[in-house]
Structure 1
Amino acid sequence: MKISTNIVAGAAGALLLNVIHELARKNIKDAPRVNELGEEGVVKISEAMGVKPPTGNKLYASTLAYDFVGNAFYYSAVGKGKSKNIWLRGLGLGLTAGIGAIALPKKIGLDDQPVNHSKLTQVLTVAWYTLGGLAAAAAAELLKESPSNGESE
């Protein structure tokens, strides 16, 4: 698949993930608060770079943008390799991202409570990242070129 197609597929997965996170955090008591992790990360990175971190709506918006771009590039890997494995790659990328989202924050110096405050929160975190990976796979499947147009199977 072309790089641009992979990025579009990745963006589809990232978009679905962000929409789910935003809707759920406003409506489900034990929903993961990935935005809080992201905001803490933006503040720490800004401070480490000697830059005044954004606050309020600017912090929220920049975190959402960084999260979208990072996830889009991550999920864009779904289109690399043989087309017959797109769905397995989407599943694997999603599961890996979800497990990483609950396992890594504390290890990198972030408060892990937003994704680990209950078993339901952990399950939802993994489930939503997995849905993002599968959405990227679905988009890649829809966007892939036909074999006659040069795609390698």
Structure 2
Amino acid sequence: MKRIGWVIVAVAAGLALAGCATSAPEPPSTEPDIRGVVTSVSDAGDGASFRVVWMNDDAVGAQEDYDAAQVTANAATEILTRAADGSVTDAAVDDIAVGTVVEAWFEGPVAESYPVQATAGAVVILGSYSGELPEPPGLQ
């Protein structure tokens, strides 16, 4: 009978430790709202506000819903980095700089001005862009 008690304790401890394990971060499973190059960054109190502009360049990728956006990342925004091998790791808002190529998923209402203004639920940093920074097509 004592042996069964110890087995139960060992199984319970194993399950408790498994529950504490952290999983690798993952971006949302849907397509992003915008993909593009960060052309400006400013402080937004508890985060940052940055302009993302899409451009037709293989280094940036396909256009998503918007060609330009003013995106706010706050304390609730999940910020990740995707490496060339496809692995994803945690990042910080300070990793977003002018020339960074990002994907952003909007959360909450989107101001339909041009460029759209939205708060990001998630941002994935894809790399950096070394070419000439684009201007939003609608502002040229």
TM interval, short-chain normalised: under 0.3
TM-score normalised by the chain length of structure 2: 0.25
- Greater relative contact order, per chain length (Cα 8 Å cut-off, separation 6+): 1
Structure label with greater radius of gyration: 2
**Greater strand share, structure number:** 2
**Greater helix share, structure number:** 1
